[in-house]
Amino acid sequence: MELKGNELNPWKNALTQLHNTAEVIDLDKNIQKILENPAKTLITTFPVTMDDESIEVFEGYRVQHNAARGPCKGGIRYSPDVNLDEVKALASWMTYKTAVVNIPFGGAKGGVVVEPSKLSTNELKRVTRRFTYSMIGMIGPDRDIPAPDINTTPEIIAWVMDTYSMIQGYTGLGVVTGKPLEIGGSLGRLEATGRGVFIIMEDTLRQKKQSSKNVTIAIQGFGNVGSNFAKIAHEHSAKIIAITDAFGGCYNPEGLNIPELLDYVTNHHNRTVKNYPNGEPITNKELLTLNVDILAPCAIQNQITAENADKIEAKLIIEGANGPTTPIADSILNERDIVIIPDILANSGGVTVSYFEWVQSLQHFFWNEDQVNEALRKILVRAFAEVNQMKEKYNTKDFRTAAMALAVQRVARAIQLRGIFP
């Protein structure tokens, strides 16, 4: 099957998912119009003095999709591939993700067009502070709460918080989440997205009367999400047989030694799984089509498309990344009876613990890690059960439609209850 013209445009894909859901739940057309349009969009260009005293001009974006259910929430990513349609899509998916787990946030996302590995620490700091200054009128504990995303770290988020705080004249712990523990971060936040992927995977397997023990898993992406998912799944006796990242991959049909692999990545140049000595090389293309029980795309969007969907051999796909499967690929996989647990449910652990961090920061009262992990589990188990109820109610074949139905109805109800101002 050839790729359709808009298949790889994430915003078009997000709208397709919304339209498909609207048809299933008979969504009010006026509400649909609202959800088709982000509430606020910032496009900013800002100059930064580089270490050699030259000036470079960078472009950044912040999109707030919908705030009917609470202040907006969403990460900031640094990548040369960041574009407005990507950020709009990610913001809308965050609206639906927070609604699926029923936490009082709306959706936002931000990004800067930059390759951070080419910047010094001081240049990266100046880029972050100038971008934060551009967003000052948009962000705040009761407005929009940024967090880390691709190529951004707790340290970078600390600079965002400090810049905001210096301008406001007080320390605003609640303006960001994903902060370092020393300045108001939450225990369990770093592992939360990966842990959430595992919790949802366990629930899905339990529904199929299976356990995680000895299931074979292939993981695309070994950043924060993929590495923590791999670590927790390995601790529960799952067999991770293949992992790829941006530089390469490793494969061992007997199962990779995840603690050893984590040490290897930490201590080697570029922090990559490539050339790991106790595994065979594997490409990303090969990983996606391995015959495994579970495929976990935990990298970036548009990885499973019309081009490769008919070659997928996994019985279950659990989306650790945002938007890794295009709508055309969704249709192909559904026809093949391959179960997909969608991003807005599967990777919602991160924003859930971000919510816990926000609450802790506002109250200046912090939880222990067991409290965080137990609260996370309760929310995700409840969300999985509620998505299953939607699946039954609307007699849908797939989990994405059910999860979107749950989310869109919650957002629509909030809009209806609040009304349109003035």
Element spanning 216, H or E: strand 216-220
pLDDT at 355 over 50: yes
Q: What CA–CA distance (Å, rounded) separates 383 from 405? A: 12
pLDDT digits (tens, 9 = 90+) for 158-205: 999 999 999 999 999 999 999 999 999 999 999 999 999 999 999 999
pLDDT at 397 over 90: no
pLDDT digits (tens, 9 = 90+) for 260-273: 999 999 887 678 99
pLDDT at 36 over 80: yes
pLDDT digits (tens, 9 = 90+) for 99-152: 999 999 999 999 999 999 999 999 999 999 999 999 999 999 999 999 999 999
pLDDT at 237 over 60: yes
Cα dihedral 393, 395, 399, 403 sign: negative
pLDDT of residue 6: 77
**Amino acid identity, residue 235?**
E
Q: What CA–CA distance (Å, rounded) separates 206 from 204? A: 5
Q: What CA–CA distance (Å, rounded) separates 110 from 43? A: 10
Give percent of the chain above pLDDT 90: 93
Confidence of residue 7 (pLDDT cuts 50, 70, 90): confident
CA atoms within 13 A on the CB side of 210: 15
pLDDT (average), residues 381-390: 98
Same fold, 39-172 and 192-341: yes
Cα dihedral 72, 73, 79, 85 sign: negative
Contact 260, 229 (CB under 8 A): no
Was domain 39-172 assigned CATH 3.30.1240.10?
A: no
Can you give the residue ranges of every domain in the chain?
Answer: 39-172, 192-341
pTM for the model: 0.94
Phi-psi group of 169: left, alpha or beta (phi > 0 → left; psi -120 to 50 → alpha; rest → beta)? left
Q: At what angle do helices 84-100 and 349-363 cross, to 10 degrees?
A: 80
pLDDT at 51 over 60: yes
Confidence of residue 4 (pLDDT cuts 50, 70, 90): low
Third-level CATH fold of 192-341: Rossmann fold (3.40.50)
Positions marked catalytic: 109
Q: What CA–CA distance (Å, rounded) separates 378 from 422? A: 39
pLDDT (average), residues 242-255: 93
pLDDT of residue 3: 42
pLDDT digits (tens, 9 = 90+) for 299-354: 988 999 999 999 999 999 999 999 999 999 999 999 999 999 999 999 999 999 99
Among candidates 207, 200, 205, 233, which has minimal Cα distance to 219? 233
pLDDT at 286 over 80: yes
Contact 125, 159 (CB under 8 A): yes
